[in-house]
Chain A
Amino acid sequence: MATVLVNDISVDIGDEKLNCVQAAQRAGVTIPHYCWHPALSVVASCRMCLVMVGEKKPDGSIAMQPKVVPGCQTPVKDGTVIQTMDPMATTAQKATLENLLLNHPLDCPVCDKAGECLLQDYSFKFGNASSRMVDEKNTPPNKPDIGANVSLFTDRCIMCSRCVRFTREVAGTAELHVVQRGNHSEIDIFPGHPLDNKLATNVVDLCPVGALASKDFLYKQRVWNLKTVNSVCTGCSTGCSIHLDTNKDVVYRLRPRFNPRAQGHFMCDEGRLGYHQVNSSQRFRKPLERGESGTRPIEWSAAVASVDRGFRQVSGVDPGNAWFVLSPFLTLEEAWLLASYARSVSPFVRIVSGPVPRVGEDDTYPKDRKGRPASNIKFTIRAEKCPNRKGVETIVSHFQKTPLSFGDLLQACDAGSAHFVYVTGGYSSAHPGFRVDDADKLSKVPNLIVHDLMPSALTDRANIVIPSAAFSEKEGTYVNHAGLAQSTVAGCVPLRGMRTDGQVFLDLLGRKGLVRAEEIRKEIGKAVSVLAALAQGSTGEFGVFTGSGS
């Protein structure tokens, strides 16, 4: 047990190895810092975190060091005393900020970082209101082509070198480096080697100022207009925790959210840009029914009634001819509701999990100089391009005691013994779940229902198409590759007139009311033993591990 005194607040840090910045955080005190980041090596170069440090002697007297030290580089131990309000420390902080602002353009009105900029925040809290600089400022040219997804506003850089260390230590690709010296230092790339690794846009989140900007988000919104909810990336089975930033029900940006149980601090670029499908104008908005003269839009209630009628007709004759395909893009709650609906009609209805899109091998970072994976893995982009295979498979095996696969369904289609098939989709268009020949086989089914986001080969062959809601529009739980169950919150309401998947399943089940994911989670937790961790309803900020882990 070790006790540290921060501005006379004593905090117990156990036996953790912390620096002054972290220890102060525990005490609720902010030590301003730029270059230090918990996921990167310590360089102590920005000098923003200068504080007074001392030691409490066994006899109770306190001996302070006669100078300021960088808090990010100074470890604390039992009896360490940190003073952030000491005049020597505050003067040093003021001086550091004045220095950082000497050449800063202060173009906050047109800077994308304004509103979440640490230079703004710290200047306001710890800095001076005016500058004594009388000389002309440096105005190095911007470098919009520094990377495919990233743009550099060179003059706003405060040389914290977080971006450089990220590309060296986490991505391993080391594209960024510092050129020139002193006041003329700049971030740059080697000619012909742009910042284009698969984790590149993380440097934008790391950059404490508006120097590095995401081209995707550039000038789209001012950040203070955005509403943020906690969500989960659905791009692969790593299940990165994210912040979902929306305004007026349009998704504008995904940002990684720190989660030590899922992925750490970062996320990959593919996942970060994966939200565009949500805003696509091609998305289905109304249920469609195929007649002799092509498809026509129908009412939701008519679609639900027609699906229910078709299903009961087939299962009245032989329930083994009715199939339900649960996509690995469904949330646990949706999978549970749909499977419950299938089972509520007959125990012989067949429930299978949908195809799992896989691309290559798991891609681990950091890479070495030649692009080969190194041994100390810090980030993994998984080959399995869906968020909830584990969860959906658990639900399917709970309901379907004799295991069946999607391949069995295709065989049944060939044999003409599948008469009613309800397929759920939601796959990303970059990694489609159904191949065209799967769709051809499924098109032989007399009554094919497809529940999906966007037109595809399969929806073209469906008798009834039901629109899906996107991940940003529904609440639910995803179980990642390691069995970590994380629940999300809806960031926007569904498109006008749309129903979420869960709502459709509730309607099919004839259950009244709106979908309340938390209630359904409790229901699942009680019924399925491997998912018992969900029984308390909430999965907390970081998620809970379920028994379906590896």
Chain B
Amino acid sequence: MPAIAEKNVRWVKHPKLSLAEQIYLPTIAQGMVTTISHLVKTLTGTNSIQTQQYPEQKPSLPPHYRGVHRLNRDEQGRVKCVSCYMCSTACPANCIDIVAAPSPWPDREKYPELFVIDELRCIYCGMCEQACPVDAIELTTIFDLTGMSREDMMFDKEKLLSVFDQTVAMGTDPVRTKGGRLSVAAEPAGSGLTTSSSAQS
């Protein structure tokens, strides 16, 4: 790294604190005003902020929320993932582990024999969802996941498929499956992967 020439360095001094700032009292009083005004509003019932009674009352989150993953199923209930490793390649936390195998179905070449996401390591960035060429992995609105051990938080293929079933049953599909446009490869067979027209449709 080249050293910075002295003439290019600008020295900045901390601003000096005034007496009022040094004794803090005005700032504290300012803060108390906010607190007391809220207290008054609450006591008189004019406060617009509501406290939600979580966990008795669950928040309804927008469908683009990035919570626990799910692995989608196709129309025949099979795992949609084709084991391309795009998600695990994109994942900045390196928390997706896939073991691919030749698929048992004639219409597909490859499927995931094992698919494990370490939900503790995941940073819920959603890159996996963006990388997937067949929209097989999505982040759901489920955010309150708990487990008794680290192993409990390693979600395997069955668990991730069960999250799909659960979210479908609850009617909280993520935004892409719900209304968003699926990626080209996930469109129904016959629309073609390559024709530029289908990419725009």
Contact = CB atoms under 8 A, between A and B. Distances in A.
A65 interface: no
Contact of B196 (A130, A219, A220, A222): A130
Interface stretch (A105-113, A232-240, A351-359): A105-113
Interface in A103-121: 105-107, 109-110
Interface in B98-115: 100-102, 108-110
A219 B195 contact: no
B85 interface: yes
B85 A222 contact: yes
Given A109-B134, A109-B185, A219-B100, A134 B85 contact: no
A550 interface: no
A40 interface: no
A225 interface: yes
A219 B195 CA distance: 27
Given A107-B109, A109-B134, A219 B194 contact: no
Nearest to B103: A110
B84 A110 contact: yes
Interface of B: 82-86, 89, 100-102, 108-110, 133-134, 185, 193-196, 199
Contacts of B108: 110
Interface of A: 101, 105-107, 109-110, 130-134, 153, 218-220, 222, 224-225
A218 B101 CA distance: 8
B194 A101 contact: yes
B184 to A, nearest CB: 10
Contact of B83 (A106, A131, A219, A224): A219
A131 B194 contact: yes
Contacts of A134: 195
Contacts of B185: 109
B78 to A, nearest CB: 15
15 contacts: A105-B193, A106-B194, A107-B109, A109-B133, A110-B84, A110-B108, A110-B110, A130-B199, A133-B194, A133-B195, A218-B102, A219-B83, A219-B102, A222-B84, A222-B89
Given A219-B101, A219-B110, A222-B89, A109 B82 contact: yes
A220 B102 CA distance: 10
A133 B193 CA distance: 11
Contacts of A153: 109
B93 to A, nearest CB: 16
9 residue pairs, one from A and one from B, having the closest CB atoms: A109-B84, A130-B196, A219-B100, A110-B110, A222-B85, A131-B194, A109-B133, A110-B109, A110-B82
A105 B84 CA distance: 15
Contacts of A130: 194, 196, 199
Nearest to B133: A109
